[in-house]
Structure 1
Amino acid sequence: MVVVLYSGGLDSTFVVFLLKKLNVQFYCVYIKICLWASTVWLSEYCQCEALAAVLCFPLLFIDLSQQYYNYIFNRFYKGYVNSLTPNPDIFCNTKLKFNYFANYCLRCFGKPLFYFSGHYVRKCVNFISVARDLVKDQTYFLCTVFCFCNLFFLLGCFYKSEVRFFITFLGLVTYINASSRGVCFLRINDFANFISLYCTRRVIVYDATYNFYGYTRCGYITVGQRYPNSTLQHAYVFRKQPNAIFITNQHSIRLLTKHVRVLQRTLFKTVIFPKVYFCKVNSCSRFFKCFVYCVDLPYFVRFVYPVRVLAKGQFLAIYDGGVLVAGMEII
């Protein structure tokens, strides 16, 4: 039995179109994730129903708002309060979409399932590799998913522009749910404003010489980001604690690092030292050359060239020739 994770957006609609062309029998499932008591999701679901009527596919509905709040948002919020920088999209894929949701479907349908999603990822047997569209590549968001044996991704060999062209050519662009973007499809495109709603505690600001600089309520700013309320030109955060942040100018050596201590979350292949791997430190970053070694737990990642300082709680995706090798969390 085939289940498609459907948001009504450009990518998931194109996956549905491809499965229809392949004559695959499938169910589409719309997952409701809502943090607030609003009816925004209802208009999105109505758009999904309109697309289901046009393309003639069955559409199911599941409400996982409470699970999202319990498993994802609480961990994400507590991480920021404790000066960590977690990624809610990685949590959502690992804990909700390909764990809780998969178990829920197995209980409901009572048979083995195959899941299709609109991620830009290429699958090789039980491994995943970087998508053809390097700008849109989403392997970083799946770096902590434990198993890919029953997951399938059809968009890994397409560019985003090609998907957009096909949807426009099919005349479906007027039905597409344009709001299925942002953090976990919550219409959160301004991440800083979203975090500032919850991280309102006043913190102390110190400069590079650890002298008192002032107070701020910008506790949502993380390591490596620009500090907005400063008389210093181009001030950046190089260190963060639960009750304090430390800033310096953009040319300071404190903004660079060559190694980080990490905790292994997933390991798909054996890591060999001194082999050179490639690493992504966020979804938008380029690939950095690095070594991965472990004298005694935990692991260490050493970059060949210095990179912008990284925050605790941030995830690293390690690649070998384009294949995802491991997912690790900075500690």
Structure 2
Amino acid sequence: MNGGVVVGMSGGVDSSVAALLLRQAGGPVAGLFMRNWADDGSGDCRADEDRRDAVAVCGRLGIPIHFRDFSAEYWSGVFEHFIAEYAAGRTPNPDVLCNREIKFAHFLEAAHALGAERIATGHYARIDRHCGRWRLLRASDAGKDQSYFLHQLGQAQLAATAFPLGGLHKREVRELARGAGLPTAAKKDSTGICFIGERDFREFLGRYLPARPGEIRTADGRTIGEHPGVFYFTLGQREGLGLGGVRGFAQAPWYVVGKDVPGNVLVVDQDHDSRWLMSTVIWTAPAHWIAGAPPATRFECSAQARYRQQAEPCAVAVDDGGRLEVRFAGPQRAVTPGQSLVLYDGEVCLGGAVIERTDAPAPGGVGAAGKLAA
């Protein structure tokens, strides 16, 4: 290529329409299909199907398509961290790491090697330039906004990236795909973690973290069941506990409210909004700032501790090492170590950091919900 843009083709409708829009805008356009997960023999990998769809879309659009295998880089840059975090009792977010390490690092390098100036993806987010700096903005479609997963991007990456779908709603994307006769127009959106897909999560994780059964206890220390391994569960989780009617307790759902990893104990409660799950202060690892630095050492903004959560008002303090102390105006439910806390000023994503702990109280004296032992 001589300039132009390379589109990351996933085989889905979003990347297909991103390529369509760039093709219609003129200028050199090519597609690139990334293989990020090696076939593990389970029969659940959709990579071959997705590759065929990506080829078909590029053929329909009349643009060339390239292929790169990043599975080794994915294993070392994303998956090893994913397993280590689960083993420590935390709940990581591999999609954030995948964007930082693969899609906006190795993919960007591959595009530049092909002679392209920029890359594009089917993410729902927007980019603009304000006062000499690039900004990451929420998508127009609030229900599909993916800026949460992109908060680790920096100035160089944003300068070389386009998000053609940022101003569109999902229904418009489907309509454009149908109108252009793209073979992915009616394809179901992929869900879950990219390398797990539609398969059973516990069975998949069990291949790398063998079962280690232990006690399920109530917050006051009573043993009411057995779990297969504390690392299979996350704070606030309801499904998969295997607790039906427990004698002496109400017929109501149980929720995970704490994990004692060294003691191999899972702590549960029947209150959806259990006090053991509620916190107002979050402490994080050193933060990443999209502008390159925080707006101040102390400032107010809004933040969300998980994808699709409503951003809530908070006050942020940045220490000398770049770590954050974030105080929310109201209690937050099931804030989970290992997940990302992402900060916003209105529609502008400021950056974010990995959650280390919270001020949630310690249930049953076996380890605080927000202070999981490594």
TM-score by length of 2: 0.80
Q: Deviations over 1:285-314 (max 9, x none)?
A: 111111111355431111111010211111
Q: Which blocks of at least 5 consecutive residues in structure 1 are unaligned? A: none
Note the C-alpha offset of 1:193: 5.4
Aligned with residue 67 of structure 2, among 55, 61, 64: 61
In 2: Cα distance, 1:203 partner to 1:237 partner: 14
Residue 137 (structure 1) aligns with: 145
Residue 348 (structure 2) aligns with: 323
CA RMSD of aligned residues (A): 2.4
In 2: Cα distance, 1:326 partner to 1:104 partner: 25
Answering whether residue 277 of structure 2 is matched by residue 245 of structure 1, we say no
Aligned with residue 119 of structure 2, among 115, 120, 131: 115
Aligned with residue 97 of structure 1, among 96, 103, 106: 103
In 1: Cα distance, 2:65 partner to 2:218 partner: 55
Note the C-alpha offset of 1:264: 2.7
SS in structure 1 of the partner of residue 159 of structure 2? coil
Q: How many residues align?
A: 329
TM-score by length of 1: 0.90
Note the C-alpha offset of 1:176: 6.1
Question: What amino acid is the match of 1:11?
Answer: D
SS in structure 2 of the partner of residue 140 of structure 1? helix
Q: Deviations over 1:191-245 (max 9, x none)?
A: 5554455443323322212344442115311112225322352221122232232
Residues 91 and 8 (structure 1), Cα distance of their counterparts in 2 relative to 1, 3 Å cut = same
Residues 163 and 95 (structure 1), Cα distance of their counterparts in 2 relative to 1, 3 Å cut = same
Note the C-alpha offset of 1:252: 2.4
**Equivalences for 1:12-51 in 2 at 5 Å?**
12-35=15-38, 36-37=40-41, 40-51=46-57
**Is the Cα contact below 8 Å between 1:224 and 1:255 reproduced in 2?**
yes
SS in structure 2 of the partner of residue 183 of structure 1? coil
**Is the Cα contact below 8 Å between 1:8 and 1:180 reproduced in 2?**
no
Residue 167 (structure 2) aligns with: 157
In 2: Cα distance, 1:314 partner to 1:272 partner: 24
Aligned with residue 284 of structure 1, among 290, 308, 315: 308
Question: What amino acid is the match of 1:42?
Answer: D
Residue 6 (structure 1) aligns with: 9
Q: Which blocks of at least 5 consecutive residues in structure 2 are unaligned? A: 357-374
Residues 95 and 10 (structure 1), Cα distance of their counterparts in 2 relative to 1, 3 Å cut = same
Identity of aligned residues (%): 28
